[in-house]
Amino acid sequence: MAAIRSHAATRVDGIAADFSGSAGAGAVVAKLPTVDVLVNNVGIFEPKPFAEIPDADWYSLFEINVMSGVRLSRHYLAGMLERNWGRILFISSESGVQIPAEMVHYGRKWCTTE
């Protein structure tokens, strides 16, 4: 982070947050109530055959991989619209179009956000 800040013409900040629930997005919003550019790039997976992924794992993966970006985007979009400027980026993965058999749960995330 220090190296990025040394070259930045504006404020650059980072926050470590747990996105397994809404509290992680809340912590980010509390520290940075407004942003001009939001980059959603969180994504977790565990190589596992589709038939062996229990419902609890699906909910956890969806919470982190999809809802974290939804929560942050929903908050920051309002300010961007008021200022008539801003960017929300979702970093994708090749897994959205070429889903590995052992990572259906991860590839599905990219299909939801693109």
Beta bridge partners of 89: 39
The closest alpha carbon to 66, from 29, 20, 27, 6, belongs to 20
Chain center to CA of 68: 5
| C-alpha to C-alpha distance for 107 and 66, rounded to whole angstroms | 11
Active site residue 106: yes
Give residue 84's identity as a one-letter amino acid code.
N
Catalytic residue among 19, 76, 106, 110, which?
A: 106
Check if the beta carbon of residue 111 is closer than 8 Å to that of residue 96. yes
- Neighbour count for residue 69 (Cβ, 10 Å): 25
Residues with active-site annotation: 106
